[in-house]
A and B are shown apart, each in its own frame.
Chain A
């Protein structure tokens, strides 16, 4: 059922919705088919234009929504139609989905532009300039898939985008599939890509079960139908809705990197940095948050599910934040920070603070993209410095052997060599740490304020996580940009070109001012998104600015930053010195450093047993037992015994053969005597014929 037919007055661009998907697809196909003949600028230009045009479409849709705030569904084509199952390709345009479209295409476009500069250098450092085109093909494909995800009007179309972005993530994590993150020949990147895909598949399994249950409960998987009858089903069959929402949580955990499926995200940093920024920080990983917000009409009906989601989010936020403290790789820190921030969002949408969650999603997209891209800029700067140093000193043999341009222990003092990047990074870090008045402060604070009212346990978890956040960001800033360079590469680092820094500046501006989207009292975003929720009958918790919470969290952040200064800023790290925190925390720090051995645990508990089981099934059960023993030995062997021994020797040789041989021997003896008749002379034969004639004639006469 279409919620509302397209209205007849006012600026209306809803019909453009399918182009959200087609424009990036056209960009992708253009680059795929004729990109070989184009230069890097053209390829990057086409891809960025496609992404930019998508953003324009999203803006036009948003403008249309001002006139028709209740949103609409734009049908495109039928998809699967069997009996009650009526699925179609249709686009859901309302304030919630359009918010996501704007974020995805907006941040996406900036990252496209940045990537033109970044990939130009990256493909050269890794000696494969031909791969430049491939990157933009994937990137456009990703935008298309993400648009399908956020604009689908039913859960299955959302699932198409859901898995589509998973595929792009797989392709982009494995972009440098023949090496590890340091450029050495290895399967490490490929393994990381596979890990991401499989972990996501586990989540997708949950999603799939949710959809299956949903269909048989609601007889539809379309948003409008499901939400319309949600209340009624909740009364008759509350267990079903609980099952759906919990299954969906598994999907969320996979895509948005929550406990227990978050493990793939840190490894995903194997992808080029723009990918980390776009897919693994700003857009794709927030799909889970979007899903929960989208499904709000169901979640609000089952408080148990809400509590579970919030708890998972809170725990993830804290857990990942602790790990981030113990990391040395600049991107790994950001990765765990992303997991942690996703935990904030999931916790927010879980406990019903949907606007706060979406708000944090948006601001996080700005500042985390900024951080990742700046980190990319840092890494490339160090890489440039490394090349520079290697050429100067003339020892090219150890070049690119074990040098890790992303390791913060190799950096230091880069405030001077890369000033622009430093300032940009600082803005991002402060936004993330939640310092007033940057974007992160407003959004994080709104979540915390809501949490005090809705779920105090989660508030405690999130507050501690926020403290850790400020601490590890402080640690990172001190380690990377202050002190003295601990490696000559850092000393010779060079600033990045404008094609990279200008998008960064835009993002920095957004990180600075993004809070304005939903200032307390004004609440632009809340009123904007509210309309969608109201359409589906979800009453939003009225957000209140809580001064106590704001002061508490700011103080916590400042204390954390001060602590990090004490440890890393006051007395900068020197080359080879162990982390000062190790002295203080001891084994706890070792745990953080080793990510609490969760990967190892999964290997021991799930993967190795599965591999062993698979081998056992394949080699022992299927091959040795079933194939070789049962078929070849038992069946074929029995048959052979039967035919060779039982039948051949006993029945055949001693029974039938004896008879047959006797018969044969008699015949032979008889033949031996009769053969004399065959003289071989033709005239003899003629004679016998002649005799026959005479005898027969004689018989006829005498008759």
Chain B
């Protein structure tokens, strides 16, 4: 057992536990907190895989901004818990069955096609550094990058318009 493997297994365990915690929490606030934990573990995985910049983005954007937004909305709506409802009770077992099916399929694929999963050797020091990513973003992916800025602008305007209260009504 290498230290790397130990770290991986520990973090994987935490990560899965957090995901399951999110799935089963009754209170939406807890779900959100579990999800943050999951995101942080995933960020550490990124670091292990050489994605320094991505890891930082993950922490800042996902764990920071996005989840804070979730929490805000949950608090704002006061909708931590929902009442009882039996509308689609039959879907739960079916869903679990299907989930297991999916896992089975994926596991089968992992097991049967090792050729696509060969690990790479050592990587240069600069791999995944902000410098490299930046070079790629501003050269090869300049247009998509700019498009994302417009996308964000549009999303912002959309969000404002959707949540704006009609003055005349209230």
Residues of B within 8 A of A698 (CB): 105
B101 at the interface (CB under 8 A from A): yes
> Complex formed: what's the CA distance from A693 to B98 in Å?
10
The answer on a CB contact under 8 Å between B105 and A681 is no
A452 CB → nearest B CB, Å: 108
The answer on a CB contact under 8 Å between A694 and B88 is no
> Complex formed: what's the CA distance from A701 to B102 in Å?
12
A687 at the interface (CB under 8 A from B): yes
A676 CB → nearest B CB, Å: 15
Residues of B within 8 A of A697 (CB): 102, 105-106, 109
Residues of A within 8 A of B94 (CB): 687
Given the interface contacts A683-B91, A684-B88, A684-B91, does A690 sit within 8 Å of B108 by beta carbon? no
A691 at the interface (CB under 8 A from B): yes
B87 at the interface (CB under 8 A from A): yes
Residues of A within 8 A of B1 (CB): none
Binary per-residue interface labels of chain B (80-113) against chain A in the complex, 1 for a CB within 8 Å, 0 otherwise:
0000000110010011001001100110110010
**Which of chain B's residues 37-72 have a Cβ closer than 8 Å to chain A?**
none
Residues of A within 8 A of B91 (CB): 683-684, 687
Binary per-residue interface labels of chain A (669-686) against chain B in the complex, 1 for a CB within 8 Å, 0 otherwise:
000000000000101100
The answer on a CB contact under 8 Å between A683 and B102 is no
> Complex formed: what's the CA distance from A697 to B104 in Å?
11
The answer on a CB contact under 8 Å between A694 and B109 is no
Residues of A within 8 A of B95 (CB): 687, 690
Residue from A681, A684, A694, A701 in contact with B98 in the complex, judged by beta carbons closer than 8 Å? A694
Residues of A within 8 A of B105 (CB): 694, 697-698, 701
A524 CB → nearest B CB, Å: 102
Task: Give the interface residue-count category, chain A.
Answer: 10 to 19
A429 CB → nearest B CB, Å: 96
Residues of A within 8 A of B108 (CB): 701
Residues of B within 8 A of A684 (CB): 88, 91
> Complex formed: what's the CA distance from A681 to B101 in Å?
23
Residues of A within 8 A of B109 (CB): 697, 701
The answer on a CB contact under 8 Å between A681 and B88 is yes
B98 CB → nearest A CB, Å: 6
> Complex formed: what's the CA distance from A687 to B93 in Å?
12
Given the interface contacts A687-B94, A701-B109, does A681 sit within 8 Å of B87 by beta carbon? yes
Using CB atoms, name the residue of chain A closest to B113.
Answer: A701
Residues of B within 8 A of A701 (CB): 105, 108-109, 112
Using CB atoms, name the residue of chain A closest to B94.
Answer: A687
Given the interface contacts A694-B105, A698-B105, A701-B108, does A683 sit within 8 Å of B88 by beta carbon? yes
> Complex formed: what's the CA distance from A681 to B105 in Å?
27
Residues of A within 8 A of B98 (CB): 687, 690-691, 694
Residues of A within 8 A of B87 (CB): 681
Using CB atoms, name the residue of chain B closest to A681.
Answer: B88
A680 CB → nearest B CB, Å: 11
> Complex formed: what's the CA distance from A694 to B97 in Å?
11
The answer on a CB contact under 8 Å between A693 and B102 is yes
Residues of B within 8 A of A694 (CB): 98, 101-102, 105
Using CB atoms, name the residue of chain A closest to B109.
Answer: A701
Using CB atoms, name the residue of chain A closest to B87.
Answer: A681
> Complex formed: what's the CA distance from A697 to B109 in Å?
10
Residues of B within 8 A of A690 (CB): 95, 98, 102
> Complex formed: what's the CA distance from A698 to B88 in Å?
26
Q: Which of A681, A691, A701 has the most CB of B within 10 A?
A: A701
> Complex formed: what's the CA distance from A691 to B91 in Å?
12
> Complex formed: what's the CA distance from A217 to B68 in Å?
104
> Complex formed: what's the CA distance from A95 to B102 in Å?
124
A298 CB → nearest B CB, Å: 89
> Complex formed: what's the CA distance from A492 to B98 in Å?
130
Residues of A within 8 A of B106 (CB): 697
**Which of chain A's residues 646-703 have a Cβ closer than 8 Å to chain B?**
681, 683-684, 687, 690-691, 693-694, 697-698, 701
> Complex formed: what's the CA distance from A694 to B102 in Å?
6
A361 CB → nearest B CB, Å: 91
Residues of B within 8 A of A691 (CB): 98
> Complex formed: what's the CA distance from A698 to B95 in Å?
17
> Complex formed: what's the CA distance from A612 to B169 in Å?
71
Using CB atoms, name the residue of chain A closest to B102.
Answer: A694
> Complex formed: what's the CA distance from A691 to B95 in Å?
9
B110 CB → nearest A CB, Å: 11
> Complex formed: what's the CA distance from A560 to B112 in Å?
148
Using CB atoms, name the residue of chain B closest to A697.
Answer: B105
**Which of chain B's residues 92-144 have a Cβ closer than 8 Å to chain A?**
94-95, 98, 101-102, 105-106, 108-109, 112
Using CB atoms, name the residue of chain A closest to B105.
Answer: A697
**Which of chain A's residues 511-528 have a Cβ closer than 8 Å to chain B?**
none
B86 CB → nearest A CB, Å: 13
Using CB atoms, name the residue of chain B closest to A690.
Answer: B98
> Complex formed: what's the CA distance from A701 to B112 in Å?
10
Using CB atoms, name the residue of chain A closest to B108.
Answer: A701
Using CB atoms, name the residue of chain A closest to B95.
Answer: A687
B32 CB → nearest A CB, Å: 20
> Complex formed: what's the CA distance from A683 to B98 in Å?
14
> Complex formed: what's the CA distance from A683 to B94 in Å?
12
> Complex formed: what's the CA distance from A681 to B94 in Å?
16
Residues of B within 8 A of A693 (CB): 102
> Complex formed: what's the CA distance from A698 to B106 in Å?
9
Using CB atoms, name the residue of chain B closest to A679.
Answer: B88
> Complex formed: what's the CA distance from A702 to B95 in Å?
23
B102 CB → nearest A CB, Å: 6
B57 CB → nearest A CB, Å: 27
A696 CB → nearest B CB, Å: 10
> Complex formed: what's the CA distance from A697 to B107 in Å?
12
> Complex formed: what's the CA distance from A533 to B88 in Å?
123
> Complex formed: what's the CA distance from A694 to B112 in Å?
17
> Complex formed: what's the CA distance from A690 to B91 in Å?
12
Residues of A within 8 A of B112 (CB): 701
A578 CB → nearest B CB, Å: 94
Residues of B within 8 A of A687 (CB): 91, 94-95, 98
B109 CB → nearest A CB, Å: 6
**Which of chain A's residues 207-228 have a Cβ closer than 8 Å to chain B?**
none
> Complex formed: what's the CA distance from A687 to B101 in Å?
13
B88 CB → nearest A CB, Å: 6
A703 CB → nearest B CB, Å: 12
Using CB atoms, name the residue of chain B closest to A693.
Answer: B102
A462 CB → nearest B CB, Å: 99
> Complex formed: what's the CA distance from A694 to B104 in Å?
10
A173 CB → nearest B CB, Å: 72
> Complex formed: what's the CA distance from A697 to B103 in Å?
11
> Complex formed: what's the CA distance from A701 to B88 in Å?
31
> Complex formed: what's the CA distance from A681 to B88 in Å?
9
A691 CB → nearest B CB, Å: 7
> Complex formed: what's the CA distance from A199 to B58 in Å?
102
B47 CB → nearest A CB, Å: 30
> Complex formed: what's the CA distance from A687 to B88 in Å?
11
The 10 closest A-B CB pairs, nearest first, are A697-B105, A694-B101, A694-B102, A690-B98, A683-B88, A694-B98, A687-B91, A701-B105, A681-B88, A698-B105
**A–B complex contacts, Cβ < 8 Å, 23 sampled:** A681-B88, A683-B88, A683-B91, A684-B88, A684-B91, A687-B94, A687-B95, A690-B95, A690-B98, A690-B102, A691-B98, A693-B102, A694-B98, A694-B101, A694-B102, A694-B105, A697-B102, A697-B105, A697-B106, A697-B109, A698-B105, A701-B105, A701-B108
Which residues of chain B have a CB within 8 Å of any CB of chain A?
A: 87-88, 91, 94-95, 98, 101-102, 105-106, 108-109, 112
Instruction: Give 8 new A-B contacts, CB below 8 A, not counting A683-B91, A687-B94, A697-B109.
Output: A684-B91, A687-B91, A690-B98, A693-B102, A694-B98, A694-B101, A697-B105, A701-B108
